[in-house]
Amino acid sequence: MIFDRLENHTLYPLGNAWKTAFDFLKTVTPEMEDKKYILQGDELYASVASYNTKARGVAKLETHRKYVDIQVLISGSETIEIFPKAGLTVSEPYNPEKDVEFYQSPAEPPVQVTLRPGHFVAFFPEDAHMPCLMTGGTPQPVKKVVIKVAVELLR
């Protein structure tokens, strides 16, 4: 997992796909349409979505095998809980078509971050993460971009 400010993305020498992802992020505006943006075929794409944050009991703990997630909030704030994948109990087996596996949520996360505009978080296959969580006692609207980068592009 990487959690940092957007302007620090060059500190991570992860290749051309990483640079392409952050070049796209420089073009993101609050007015962008909620949809999928193809950056390099199925290997590198972005999804912009607007939604309301949710309570921990509703959110799902997940991992991905084929893609690294780079998550950036365009507006609002949300909490994300992060767990090491090792030792978690699977609640829904891996779905290769959706590249997602879900887990039972342990009582306490070892790491919790609050994502706000200007920061990014990158989740690798070993990083179980529960995004979309409320940062206070009530749900709030957010707009977010998630860039999916095929793992092999970052090797």
- Give the total number of structural domains in the chain: 1
Name the pTM for this structure: 0.95
List the one residue out of 136, 132, 130 whose CA is nearest residue 108.
130
Q: Say which residue the tokens 């409320």 belong to.
A: 134
Q: Say which residue the tokens 């912009």 belong to.
A: 48
> How far is Cα 25 from Cα 74, in angstroms, rounded to an integer?
10
Q: Which domain holds residue 6?
A: 2-154
CATH of the domain at 117: 2.60.120.370
**pLDDT at residue 114, as a whole number:** 97
List pLDDT tens digits, range 80-131. Answer: 999 999 999 999 999 999 999 999 999 888 999 999 999 999 999 999 999 9
> How far is Cα 2 from Cα 86, in angstroms, rounded to an integer?
18
